[in-house]
């Protein structure tokens, strides 16, 4: 077989796979009118350049599910060719979690501005990617040229029924010196005719003793519902409880509704006050379930956790993605369950963000179907993707840096399609600027993919980039905007993984002359995959400032569980 025929077959296979992974279906607009806006069924008439149809790959998306929006515009068969600008904006009301609090808040952000070339065909289509990052109700507004705005109302739900916050991977640390309220968010589906969600019982149980405390002074902070199908809705309930009488300690949490019992281990830590001086540990790229490497990742993680418990004793731990290597049960094992078993060995609260591998259904590249599924991560570890919390006069932002976004998706080619992180959406940039960030104190950011590297993407059809720092293995979208945010908003450290390397860089992608030349962009090696030693990064904070962030290597000679 000739090289040319092999190349053509590979190209056809790639196109077919892309179509299979991203089916496009039509959707019907809800009736809604407003000033210079309207919603409608698909129509064939209209003026050249006007939007005549909009369809979604999923009419009821869930958090962390990439959506393709197909916008169809009227052509100009009898006239000249021209370019049209399509602007898509998102006016939303949704759930925001920060500083151990949960609120239903509104926001407005431009999702995309794209150009479409209009010619002499009857109609033209433009594909627009939308990665929903806020659970709630979204009004998407589509404007083409000077034509009236068209709107589509879309609800984004969770892909699991559970206590959404706090959880194993997003615990609540409550400082009694600041507040005595514990916020709980529960999400549950019901038929539209069934009774609204209520919590009939809630309790905290100490992780190291049989002591259990009933939460019996419930106060409803917010309650709403969103559609998940034509006749099914998802209730979103935010309640709070006074915990002034509950002793300090580390707790599992349980909530009971009329339909289900929901429980998260290691979800609530109650303290008297936050220390002026403390430490936390970054672990990353654990890859439980990785094959063909003769390494027991869970055992290595257990060794690291035991060492952390006995020697470091941090206030909390962050895990920056790739917790498992792939998530399905082809091997008759649930790797997220194994991960959960290891995490609950920690004596400290653990905060997580997803990586690209946490979405993989199968370890083989061509079987990433779907390659963006976070449902098991949400079910076993953490239902949230983006959130923030304050501790020790410092703000911590934990961000989802996206799914694999290959070069051929940025430019239509398949030569050397090395995965990149899809990056941060316009919604996420809006969130860190207006909701999650707090530039009145020093801040640290944790996400899986780096934003800065010391070399550029390379090879034929490399990802284009004009920033001074390198973009190899970095986030693909909003990289410049994110770096700019870090430069002007008191960011100390940006902690990432993904590269399985230890690097300390400034925003130029160079080794900093001063290790406190903020912001510092840090890449940390895999916690478990090194055959010689394992380890993590220990960050020390004093008076709201980072004073060190060294990588600690734990050799088997120094520490090993038998």
Q: How confident is the model at residue 135 (pLDDT cuts 50, 70, 90)?
A: very high
> Residue 70 falls within a domain, yes or no?
yes
326 and 237 part of one domain? no
Give me the helix-helix angle, 297-307 and 335-343, nearest 10°: 10
Q: What angle do CA 148, 153, 154 make, to 5 degrees?
A: 140
The per-residue pLDDT for range 231-258, each reduced to its tens digit, is: 999 999 999 999 999 999 999 999 999 9
> Where among 130, 156, 182 does a domain terminate?
156
CB 534: neighbour CB atoms within 10 A?
A: 28
516: domain CATH number?
Answer: 3.60.21.10
> Residue 562 falls within a domain, yes or no?
no
3-state SS, 253-303, equals EEEEECCCEEEEEEEEEEECCCCCEEEEEEECCCCECCCCCCCCHHHHHHH
- What average pLDDT does range 441-462 have in this prediction? 90
Residue 271 burial by Cβ neighbours in a 10 Å radius (0-12, 13-18, 19+): middle
Does pLDDT of 123 surpass 60? Answer: yes
Locate 155 and state its tokens.
Answer: 């609800």
Burial 299-334 (b: 16+ CB within 10 A, else e): ebbbbbbbbbeeebebbbbbbbbbbbbbbbeeeeeb
pLDDT averaged over every residue in the chain: 87
> CB within 8 A of 314, min separation 6: which ones?
278, 279, 280, 281, 308, 348, 538
Q: Who has greater pLDDT, 289 or 130?
A: 130
Does pLDDT of 5 surpass 60? Answer: no
Q: Which structural domain, as residue segments, surrounds residue 134?
A: 3-156
Q: What percent of the chain has pLDDT above 70?
A: 85
In this prediction, residue 415 carries a pLDDT of 45
Domain count, the chain: 3
> Residue 288 falls within a domain, yes or no?
yes
Locate 406 and state its tokens.
Answer: 């290959």
51 and 132 part of one domain? yes
Torsion 402-404-407-410 (CA) sign: negative
Does pLDDT of 26 surpass 70? Answer: no
Q: Contact, 397 vs 437, CB < 8 A?
A: yes
The residue assigned the tokens 């019992």 is 261
The residue assigned the tokens 């077989």 is 1
Cα 239 to the center of its chain, rounded Å: 24
In this prediction, residue 464 carries a pLDDT of 74
380 and 514 part of one domain? yes
> Residue 560 falls within a domain, yes or no?
no
How many CA within 13 A on the CB side of residue 129? 16
> Where among 156, 185, 207 does a domain terminate?
156
204: domain CATH number?
Answer: 2.60.40.4100
- What average pLDDT does range 393-408 have in this prediction? 87
469 and 347 part of one domain? yes
Q: What percent of the chain has pLDDT above 90?
A: 75
In this prediction, residue 51 carries a pLDDT of 97
The per-residue pLDDT for range 475-522, each reduced to its tens digit, is: 999 999 999 999 999 999 999 999 999 999 999 999 999 999 999 999
């Amino acid at each position: 077989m000739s090289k040319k025929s092999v190349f053509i077959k590979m190209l056809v296979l790639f196109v077919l796979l892309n179509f299979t992974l991203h089916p496009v279906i039509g959707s019907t607009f809800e009736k809604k009118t407003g000033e210079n806006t309207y919603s409608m069924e698909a129509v064939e008439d209209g003026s050249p350049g006007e939007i005549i149809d909009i369809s979604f790959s999923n009419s009821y998306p869930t958090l962390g599910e990439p959506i393709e929006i197909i916008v169809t515009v009227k052509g100009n068969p009898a006239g000249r060719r021209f370019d049209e600008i399509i602007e898509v904006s998102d006016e939303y009301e949704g759930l925001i979690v920060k500083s151990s609090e949960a609120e239903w808040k509104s926001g407005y952000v431009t999702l995309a501005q794209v150009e479409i070339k209009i010619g002499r065909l009857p109609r033209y289509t433009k594909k627009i990617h939308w990665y929903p990052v806020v659970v709630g109700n979204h009004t998407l507004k589509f404007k083409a040229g000077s034509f009236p705005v068209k709107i589509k109302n879309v609800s984004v739900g969770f892909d699991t029924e559970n206590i959404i916050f706090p959880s194993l991977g997003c615990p609540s640390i409550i400082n009694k010196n600041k507040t005595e309220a514990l916020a709980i968010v529960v999400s549950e589906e019901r038929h539209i005719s069934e009774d609204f969600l209520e919590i009939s019982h809630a309790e905290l149980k100490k992780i190291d003793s049989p002591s259990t405390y009933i939460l019996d002074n419930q106060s409803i902070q917010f309650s709403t519902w969103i559609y998940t199908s034509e006749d099914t809705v998802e209730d979103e309930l935010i309640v709070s409880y006074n915990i002034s009488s509950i002793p300090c300690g580390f707790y599992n949490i349980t909530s009971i509704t009329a339909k289900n019992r929901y429980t998260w281990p290691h979800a609530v830590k109650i303290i008297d006050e936050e220390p002026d001086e403390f430490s936390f540990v970054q672990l990353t790229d654990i890859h439980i379930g990785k094959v063909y490497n003769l390494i027991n990742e869970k055992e290595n993680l257990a060794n690291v956790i035991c060492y952390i418990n006995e020697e470091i004793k941090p206030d909390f731990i962050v895990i920056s993605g790739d917790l498992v290597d792939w998530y399905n049960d082809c091997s008759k094992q649930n790797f997220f369950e194994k991960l959960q078993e290891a995490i609950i060995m920690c004596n400290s609260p653990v905060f997580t963000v997803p990586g690209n591998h946490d979405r993989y259904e199968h370890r083989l590249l061509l079987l990433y179907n779907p390659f963006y599924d976070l449902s098991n991560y949400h079910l076993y570890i953490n239902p949230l993707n983006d959130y923030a919390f304050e501790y020790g006069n410092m703000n911590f932002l934990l961000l989802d840096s996206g799914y694999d976004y290959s070069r051929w998706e940025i430019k239509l080619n398949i030569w050397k399609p090395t995965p990149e992180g899809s990056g941060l959406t316009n919604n996420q940039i809006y969130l860190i600027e207006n909701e999650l960030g707090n530039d009145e104190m020093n801040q640290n950011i944790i996400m899986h993919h780096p934003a800065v590297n010391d070399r550029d993407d390379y090879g034929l059809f490399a990802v284009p980039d004009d920033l001074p720092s390198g973009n190899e293995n970095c986030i693909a979208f909003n990289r410049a905007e994110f770096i700019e945010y870090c430069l002007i908003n008191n960011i100390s450290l940006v902690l990432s993984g993904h590269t399985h390397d230890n690097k300390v860089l400034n925003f130029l992608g160079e080794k900093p002359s001063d290790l406190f030349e903020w912001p510092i962009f840090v890449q940390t090696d895999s916690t478990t995959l090194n055959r010689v030693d394992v380890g993590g990064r220990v960050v020390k904070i004093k008076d709201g400032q980072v004073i060190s962030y060294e990588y600690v290597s734990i050799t088997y000679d120094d520490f090993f569980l038998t």
